[in-house]
Structure 1
Amino acid sequence: MDTAQFISKANTNSVEKASFTWQTPSNIALVKYWGKSNPQIPRNASISFTLNNCHTITTIDFMRKRNSELDSESEKVVDFDLFFEGKQKDAFKPKIAEFFKRIQEYCPYIFDYKMTINSENSFPHSSGIASSASGLSAIAMCLMSLESELNPDLSAKEINKKASFLARLGSGSASRSIEGPMVVWGNHPEIEGSSDLFGVQFPYKVHPVFDNYQDAILLVDKGEKQVSSTVGHNLMHEHPYAESRFTQANENLSKMSEILQNGDIKAFVNLVESEALTLHAMMMTSNPYFILMKPNTLEIINKIWEYRTENNSNICFTLDAGANVHVLYPENEKEKVNHFIENELSIYCQKNHYIYDTVGLGANKM
């Protein structure tokens, strides 16, 4: 794998002080990845809708260290403070420190600066809405903003590509949050330009039925997950059905590519729901086994199935690694489905909370 292309060139500019703010979205996978090898390489390719309203806004203030503050080569550490929603969050620092450790080869300039990171979400943290995806991609875009000032020759395409590469080293799904509206991550023979190292925009013309697709996220459980995604991915190493699942996922991505191009929405509904349930089946059949769905998750699923049958609707659900339900539906059903959500599904949400979202276009500099 050609990772050398992501090593920073020698700085042509000197930057003493800078501040950058990026808003980057979460995403919801239609074909899931579950299982990876080091360093953050997916065992199968995946494709996701980039979201719009579920996002992280992150500001990083960079202050260049004085020569007396620079560490020796053998003692180099990345110096940063982390604030989440206005409060210092030392509990989050180990994950970010590990991320900086993984990217230091590609971004050696991070040792030259004192960083202050301020971050906030538009949705609950650690509740299965891929907060690590939006959070790590936002940090990656801030770093690339600094790198582009140090090396102004970088093109926008190069910046996005490297940002996805860096974000992946912190959270695999974060590689899919740089661009939109649909992003593929993982090498796949039928997706031109696809790579295990970074996400790429779905390269083919998408049928208009999927334009401005709707995603209502029903917040069944806003608490932190009982089992983290990192632990779940690791359980795939000894999973008895792992290899079959990896093959199935890659075959499903081939099917999804055709569906997105030909607009077969009934096939879309079937494949998206099958992928969601397969993801959770892998959790329930790992050892140790675990269940992230809650009773109200199942209530919502059954209600969606009833509504679809009774109304000949194209509504469907998908799930991430958590209890919350993503309700997907085309824009032409928005009024009726939103009424259904407000009147029949919201009662299964924690404090009746849900988020209306749509497919978005990726990272946005503030």
Structure 2
Amino acid sequence: MTEQDFIPKTYSKTKDSGSVTWSSPSNIALVKYWGKKEDQIPENPSISFTLDNCKTTTILSFSKKESNDAFSFDVFLDDDKKDDFKPKIETFFKRIERYLPFLKEYHFKIETSNTFPHSSGIASSASGMSALALCLMSLEKELSENISQDYFNQKASFLARLGSGSACRSIEGNLIVWGTHQNIDGSSDLFGVKYPYEVHQNFKNYQDTILLVDKGEKQVSSTVGHDLMHNHPFATRRFAQAHESMSKLIKIFKNGDLDAFLKIVESEALTLHAMMMTSMPYFILMKPNTLEIINKIWAFRIETNSKVCFTLDAGANVHILYPEREKDAVLKFIKTELVAYCQNGHYISDQIGFGAQQIDN
């Protein structure tokens, strides 16, 4: 598929008004994407677990308007009007207009809500932008004669990427690859695809408990951080490392080697933050409690032979990943030893999910 394949020729139907609702999850990358080219193209491939409980539900209401000379929309979060969200949506609409030429024909009311607190540090851009992209695709489907499910998912992922790169990994589940990789058939820089190969039983129903170390706004945004990779002294080697990690995971997912899995996942997390600390200007998003939690996890693993591991997004919060069979023991460990390092003792329990769902209005 190319960008041209997502430009519709004509619409065969009309729709004056209506609404559509989608619920879309967040995701957590195992191999990290950090650094991007023009048009939200990743510098390296990534692979993620789709989450289940951490999700955004978006209701998109639309009505035809008289003038087609500008975008028209209002945005609400938990019933509160959010004009400060509008610039990001405006930028998104500008990027996707050539692929959805009906956008200026309608006034949109975008009502969104998260199952997790907005200030919790969970990446809401992935779930939010993917939910909005899916709603827009549902409208396009009503205007079109024939849209297959595969095309629908690919174009929704393609559009979501133009709003937030990682959002393209939230359309489906449970393992999603984004970015071209020579050993993964069908992988693409343009959209996320379901991981196509064998996955061992060890990785079924994998758990993710998110420890909320710091709920504050990040000192440096992800957009700025990505841009700092352009002249980064270690960028070329980092991009090669990500490809190598992806290749290793193919074998690991097949044979179920959890020791090898946790080494790659933790190395990827620390490498992500090493890139931040060695960019110019340099910055640190981890907090002292982030490091305390990491050391506690390492000690617990040695003491118990657990397969628990951590990963990090571009922030201070810690995602604790572990097999379902260890759920009781790890949750006990979290409650007795780790909640003390969380802001207000807050954490979120989640697990692998299977992608977005349309909700009947």
Say yes or no: TM over 0.5. yes
CA 235–127 in structure 1, closer or farther in 2 if over 3 Å, else same: farther
User: CA-to-partner distance for each residue in 1:161-191, whole Å, 9 max, x for gaps?
Assistant: 0000000001110000000000000011111
Q: Secondary structure at the match of 1:196?
A: coil
Task: Name the counterpart of 1:221.
Answer: 214
Give CA deviations for 1:200-245 in whole Å, capped at 9, x if unaligned: 0000110000000000000111121111100000000111100110
Sequence identity (%): 63
Q: Which residue does the alignment assign to 1:179?
A: 172
C-alpha change, 1:279 and 1:126, in structure 2 (3 Å) is: farther
Residue aligning to 1:45: 45
1:70 corresponds to which of 67, 70, 80: 67
- Normalised TM-score (structure 2): 0.98
Shift in Å, 1:126: 5.9
Structure 2 partner of 1:14: 14
User: What's the Cα RMSD here?
Assistant: 1.0
Matched, 1:285 2:278: yes
Correspondence list, 1:301-312, <5 A: 301-312=294-305
Q: Given the two structures, how large is their TM-score scaled by the length of structure 1?
A: 0.97
Partner in structure 1 of residue 34 of structure 2:
34
- Given candidates 48, 72, 75, the residue that maps to 1:82 is 75
What's 2:136 paired with?
A: 143
Residue in 2 that maps onto 1:340: 333
Alignment partner, residue 190 of structure 2: 197
CA–CA distance in 2 between the matches of 1:254 and 1:80?
43
SS in 1 for 2:73: strand
- Say yes or no: does 1:111 pair with 2:104: yes
Residue aligned with 1:57, SS:
strand
- Aligned mate of 2:349, from 326, 348, 356: 356
Structure 2 stretches lacking a partner, 5+ long: none
2:25, 2:118 → 1: CA distance? 13
Does the CA contact (< 8 Å) of 2:121 and 2:212 recur in 1?
no
Matching residue's letter, 2:15:
V
Query: Which moves more between the two structures, 354-363 or 149-158?
Result: 149-158
Offset of residue 21 of structure 1: 0.8
Per-residue CA deviation, residues 72-91 of structure 1 (Å, 9 max, x unaligned), is xxxx3211000112111111
CA contact (8 A) 2:11 2:145 kept: no
Q: SS of the residue aligned with 2:30?
A: strand
Q: Distance in 2 between matches of 1:324 and 1:228?
A: 15
- AA aligned opposite 1:70: S
* Counterpart secondary structure, 1:42: coil
1:57 matched to which residue of 2?
57
Find the counterpart in structure 2 of residue 96 from structure 1.
89
Asked whether the equivalents of residues 121 and 216 of structure 2 are also in contact (C-alpha less than 8 Å), the reply is no
Q: What CA distance in whole angstroms lies between the structure 1 residues aligned with 2:171 and 2:52?
A: 12
Corresponding residue for 1:164? 157
Q: Shift of the alpha carbon at 1:11?
A: 1.1
Q: In structure 2, what is the Cα distance between the partners aligned to 1:168 and 1:182?
A: 17
Change (3 A) 1:126 1:33: farther
